[in-house]
A and B are shown apart, each in its own frame.
Chain A
């Protein structure tokens, strides 16, 4: 396989390609719009032809004529395999245990993969009011595993102590007396590398870095004492084929590719 020089690859392209590879052999993916759309569409064309994307708006098996602009875009409804009501989507599909991988983003993540999307600062009088959970609490609680794609890898986002825990992983659920269903966050993909954990009781650890990124740089960008895999590897850069599919087939209008 030919590879492309890293400097020609944008951050969005890098994150989308790396996330798409992690979807190999997965079937049902709960995805939002943006990077998760790019990753799932690319996975559909490469490592996971059987993939079924489920959107929070109730659409299962979308076949959009155009790249959707929101999870509720009309183009994901026309031609879709199913459109479900909210009680069916959240109650039966998610809580019923039908999602293999959920994609989430966050303003803050901690070493256990707990997420904050509510506030920066104090909840009562926040410095910044963020959108809140949406369905993230349910995606985390009910998916078999969760992938997080973070555009920014810095100590403010990768923090030892969340300002607020909107979306708890299974460790926090267990401590609260609630039995966790899934493994919580298993992969965090950033522009520096890949962090991973496999389930309850495990911290996120650095498993791979992108070419040219040192382990020390990732440690400095992480707000806790980051564990590093003994065999930390290098993420293979996007191939020419992956980039061509992404640029020409998935997002030719550069809606999300920046």
Chain B
């Protein structure tokens, strides 16, 4: 399926859309296609709301954000997000604030269809005061000292669609990820529908030669989209490096609303698809993000003689 077809089929106006990938394998190309197709009123769920979320907010796609870190990695701020939250400029943005493990537990509950998930966080925090979904309950079991124990819980998240980026999959959607694996598998299982965007589709035998590397099996996948370099400016371990210069540049671009909109006009609306975006950046640019080899030692899965 092409990215255009996958987004048209599974990302509807008003939907809850989860984009995961913890700094590594950020599904940027998918976010750009959502912008191109002009989706509105989305609830975006993403632990680390970063550049692609700032761009989707600026493009008017997002009315609600659910997140545990809203910053431009370690490279500065998200200009559009800050204007929306600090000054409702040009419109307010509904924001649900969590901590990282709070979000992880929401995915764990969602992926397992549990009513809630307990965690040893939030005691004494002001976060429950601004997020009524963070609730304290009494454990049905006694604590270690035999006394009743109180604990915070978070509700499940069940997105209409989860989109992740990965290194490779086979034609049926068995998806392999290495390096930082984050929360992608749980986010896929939590969703009604899942789109997996990959650097490449490989032969079935490649996947089957190393089944432990499959994080998302095909039964959880509704669409496989091939989109090389689709995580830029994020990275794909073993394929291309992170574009740290762009992360730093984004803090300046996004600080100025006019500049931000000009960037979107040129690089998102002005390109028909991600292949054109990749081509526009040019081969010399991509050579600068090339990585060398660091091969893992093969393992012996064994076979019956």
Beta-carbon nearest neighbor of B81 in chain A: A129
Q: Check A57–B86 contact: CB distance below 8 A.
A: no
Quick one: given A133-B127, A164-B126, A172-B123, are A178 and B152 in contact (CB under 8 Å)? yes
- Choose one: A126, A138, A180; the contact of B101 (CB below 8 Å): A138
Chain A residues, Cβ within 8 Å of B126: 118, 123, 162, 164-166
Name the residue of chain B whose CB is nearest to the CB of A135.
Answer: B100
Kindly report which residue of chain B lies nearest to residue A169, judged by CB atoms: B124
- Distance, CA A200 to CA B130, complexed state (A): 26
Q: Contact between A132 and B125 (Cβ–Cβ < 8 Å)?
A: no
Question: Which residue of the partner chain B has the closest CB to A84?
Answer: B181
State in angstroms the CA–CA spacing of A41 and B241 once bound together: 23
- Once the chains bind, are B85 and A178 in contact (CB under 8 Å)? no
User: In the assembled complex, which residues on chain A have CB atoms less than 8 Å from the CB atom of B235?
Assistant: 74
- In chain A, what residue has the closest Cβ to B21? A72
Cβ of B146 under 8 Å from chain A: no
Q: Which of A77, A132, A178 contacts B67 (CB 8 A)?
A: A132
Question: Bound state CA distance, A199 and B237, in angstroms?
Answer: 41
Residues 49 to 100 of chain A near chain B (Cβ within 8 Å) = 56-59, 69-74, 77-79, 83, 85-87, 90-91, 94-95
User: With an 8 A cutoff between CB atoms, is B10 at the interface?
Assistant: no
Task: Check B122 against A83 for contact (C-beta < 8 Å).
Answer: no
Counting CB contacts under 8 A, is B68 at the interface?
yes
Q: Is the pair A167, B125 in contact by a Cβ cutoff of 8 Å?
A: yes
In the complex, what residues of A have CB within 8 A of residue B102's CB?
Answer: 137
B22 touches A57 (CB 8 A): yes
Interface residues of B in 128-157 (CB under 8 A from A): 130, 136, 143, 149-152
B101 close to A135 (CB less than 8 A): yes
CB distance from A141 to the nearest CB of B (A): 5
**Given the complex of chains A and B, what is the CA–CA distance between A90 and B23 in angstroms?**
16
How far in angstroms is the closest Cβ of chain B from A137? Answer: 4
**Are A165 and B125 closer than 8 Å at their CB atoms?**
yes
Decide: A78 and B104 in contact? CB cutoff 8 A. Answer: no
* Cβ 8 A contact of A129, one of B70, B143, B150, B242: B70
Distance from B296 Cβ to chain A, minimum over Cβ atoms (Å)? 10
- Pick out which of these stretches binds chain A: B163-171, B182-190, B273-281: B182-190
Cβ of B206 under 8 Å from chain A = no
A230 at the interface (CB under 8 A from B): no
Within 8 A of B (CB), among A180-216: 180-181
Beyond A142-B120, A178-B152, whether A137 also contacts B125 by CB under 8 A is: yes
User: Which one of B67, B69, B152 has the greatest number of beta carbons of chain A within 10 Å?
Assistant: B69
Say yes or no: B123 contacts A178, CB within 8 Å.
yes
Q: Flag whether A246 is at the interface (Cβ < 8 A).
A: no
Asked if A33 CB lies within 8 Å of chain B CBs, one says: yes
Instruction: Name the B residues within 8 Å of A131 (CB-CB).
Output: 69-71
A-B contacts, 17 listed (Cβ < 8 Å): A70-B74, A70-B244, A77-B24, A79-B294, A83-B180, A85-B183, A85-B185, A87-B183, A114-B124, A125-B86, A132-B67, A132-B71, A165-B126, A166-B125, A175-B124, A178-B136, A179-B123
Q: Which residues of B contact A (CB under 8 A)?
A: 22-24, 47-48, 67-71, 73-74, 81-82, 85-86, 88, 97-102, 104, 108, 119-127, 130, 136, 143, 149-152, 179-183, 185-186, 235, 237, 241-242, 244, 291, 294
New contact pairs (5) apart from A95-B120, A131-B69, CB-CB < 8 Å: A114-B124, A118-B126, A132-B70, A137-B125, A138-B121
